[in-house]
Copies of this chain bind each other. A is one copy, B any other.
Amino acid sequence: MHQTEQRINPLTTIMNPQSVVVAGASNSIVKMGAIQALSLLNSGFAGPVYLLHPTEKQVLGRPTYPSPEALPEAPEVALLVTPSRITLPLLDALGERGVRYAVIVTAGFAEVGADGEALQKELLEITRRHGIRFVGPNCIGILNTHAKMNMTVAPYLDQPGHLGLISQSGTYVAQTMAYLRERGIRYSQAISVGNSLDIDVVDGLDHLGADPHTKAIALYLEGINRGREFVETARRVAREKPIVALYAGGSEAGRRSVRSHTASLGGPDALFDGIFAQAGVLRARSVQEMFDWGHALANMPPPRGRRMAILTHSGGPAASMADACDKAGLTVTEFSAELQEKLRPHVVATASVKNPVDLTFIIESESFVKHLPEILFGAEEIDGILVHGMMDTGFAKMIIDNMGSLAGGAPPEFLKMLEFDLDRLLVLPAQTGKPLVASTFLRVDHAAETFREHGVPLFSSPERAVAAMAALADSAQIRARRRADRAATETPAVTERASVAPRNEYEAKRLLAEYGVPLPREELAAEVADAVRIADRLGYPVAVKGLPPGVAHKTEAGLVWLDLRSAAEVQNAAEKIREQFPAAPLLVSEMLCGGRELVVGLTRFPGFGPCVMLGAGGIFTEAIRDVTFRVAPFDRAEAVAMLDDLKLRHVYGALRGRPAVDREILADILLGVGRLALEHPEIAEIDINPLIVVDGRPIAVDALIVAG
């Protein structure tokens, strides 16, 4: 379906076309075709734009061409906003004319059901025949602000920016234009991938990863059809550029909404937590976070550490910022005596210079916007600067307006507050390589506008500023780790092996053992007497299980006898099992008790292939679903890190005199299960539960392998 091997990304041309032909624009300008053509014509695009129309001679005041054959050249990219029934023959004709790239806005394909799916298949055949690479169908168009090329329904009225967006919903490309402009958030490029029939989010990531104007990438996802490639590409791009993703589709209602929207494949929420961790992608939990964080990531340098300075003249927001930092793992420690001494001359006596620096309610702003920031940005002990409310000229304005009732109006010393100079402050991030993130409760404000103009992130509440700063710090750590990992990355060679079909726990475990999964000492007994002999040899206590074919829930069937402390108890257990299942093989194992348990599993999610799961075991498995996933194959560093994803990770550290879980052995198990799944595509599911931790060593006490 997708041509991943292709070296040249089709988006290189589509996002930077020399010439464009538009089909679907008419003089009925309430239709999307006309609106999108208008966006393109008004966007300042330098190349020729050809309008196709079968009957009207002029559209939007420009001459038209009646058909692709009539065009004076083969335009590089076609924008189609035509009804679905004429889109197919039109593409055929455009292909004949030599068009090789298209943006297909037209809806009515897979997202509307079976009829649409048939149409979509046909669309693919036609484009394949002509070698046409395309975005869509069912998208809202594309935008490249640096090329002044806008094929969406909404005008882009801001300067070009550094945030690249790939979205499975057109809304976040077009309907958010005003939202972004008001907040100073600027796109480099934005791509609405629609149904992703040809070009998809993976191609988009690859493309924006290489785009020099794009400093950070935001993704809106409702599902991923090429999971493996997504992880590989995101992982590669995330080494150099921050990626933030919002995934909506984890809930049943979300999926219902998604199916009727872009026909993507959703998956459980925890799967996406796992693959984002694996790929080095920050996960946003809301549209607001996606844009907030994307904005900060696209415009601020990465902090070298997590030590924050807070500067404000409002005690409440200072406390909120400090508290939010604490929760986000950013530290706001008391400044050194040396630093406090440097700050002190620039504040009033009642102000605090400990961190947060709280100047209290003052009118004088010079120290606030110049001297103090210079000292803080220059301090070795600080990695990032958070500011709240320092530039509230809007607040002064409100008060000044209120003074209109007086004979003399507002006095000049007050009016000065409206125009203090922020230039010194706003260049400090670039000069010092330290990020600045700010918040204010005022939007209509000269200083706030200055922040936006300079691309310095300014949010409407202190906690949002802190969350964006935390995203900067997290992202910096991800990149540092990824770069360190690069050398160590293993790409294991995978050779498919002969099919296997383990018939019971014993056979499942032997297969797992071949892939490095540690097992308890255990042997299979054909007869009751053998079981007793084996138990004697293993030493008591032991466990005895009956393994008749086709019984999935052994415990419920009375097939599991634990903690047997003598030959007599073993004999009794084996006999009880044989009474019910006369031919059942008997598995006699050493009895393991560790207090701590894990589970490891394998699931094949559509679009992702084999995904290895690690979860908290024992009573947790049912009580709280604490699991994480990785798409196989993954390297050892990734396997070692998986445990850190669990909420209960500390349960598996050194605890109460018990050693920490041996992460190397655990990594062997996780890598082994992944390799097993890759070499045996006939295996649908693996469930190792429990993996009991004995003196830190995880051992597979029970296992199930399900053939697909």
Contact = CB atoms under 8 A, between A and B. Distances in A.
Contacts of A182: 443
Nearest to A108: B350
Contact of A395 (B42, B175, B285, B354): B175
A442 B326 CA distance: 33
Nearest to A38: B402
A80 to B, nearest CB: 16
Interface stretch (A3-11, A28-36, A528-536): A28-36
Contacts of A249: 319, 323
Contact of A322 (B112, B254, B401, B442): B254
Contacts of A595: 619
Interface in A374-421: 389, 392, 394-395, 398-399, 401-403, 405-407, 410-411, 413-414
A441 B325 CA distance: 28
B178 A444 contact: yes
Nearest to A167: B316
A251 B395 contact: no
Interface in A568-626: 595-596, 619-620, 622-624
B320 A443 contact: no
B178 A441 contact: yes
Interface stretch (A86-94, A327-335, A480-488, A666-674): A327-335
Interface stretch (A70-78, A649-657, A700-708): A649-657
A287 B319 contact: no
Say how many copies of this protein the assembly contains: 2
Interface size class of A (residues with CB under 8 A): 35 or more
A326 B254 contact: yes
A392 to B, nearest CB: 7
A214 to B, nearest CB: 21
Given A253-B332, A261-B319, A316-B220, A413 B30 contact: yes
A499 B108 CA distance: 81
A154 interface: yes
Interface string A130-167: 00000000000000000000000111000000000001
Contacts of A314: 169, 171, 175
A149 to B, nearest CB: 15
Contact of A250 (B29, B155, B177, B323): B323
A157 to B, nearest CB: 8
B30 A260 contact: no
A326 B254 CA distance: 8
Contact of A623 (B333, B358, B401, B653): B653
Interface in A258-285: 258, 260-262, 285
B356 A253 contact: yes
A287 B463 contact: yes
Contacts of A176: 441
Contacts of A566: none
B154 A253 contact: no
A286 B32 CA distance: 40
Given A288-B464, A316-B172, A320-B248, A358 B260 contact: yes
A443 B176 CA distance: 11
A250 B320 CA distance: 10
A394 to B, nearest CB: 6
Interface in A164-219: 167-172, 175-179, 182
Contacts of A41: 405
A599 to B, nearest CB: 14
A176 B394 CA distance: 11
A252 interface: yes
28 contacts: A38-B402, A38-B403, A39-B402, A112-B350, A169-B315, A170-B315, A171-B314, A171-B315, A175-B395, A176-B441, A179-B441, A179-B442, A179-B443, A220-B316, A248-B320, A253-B333, A254-B326, A256-B334, A256-B354, A260-B354, A261-B316, A286-B320, A286-B461, A288-B461, A595-B619, A620-B651, A623-B650, A624-B647
Given A30-B414, A169-B314, 20 more contacts: A29-B411, A60-B406, A61-B407, A170-B315, A178-B394, A179-B442, A179-B460, A248-B323, A249-B319, A251-B322, A251-B327, A254-B319, A254-B326, A256-B356, A258-B319, A285-B463, A595-B619, A620-B651, A623-B648, A623-B653
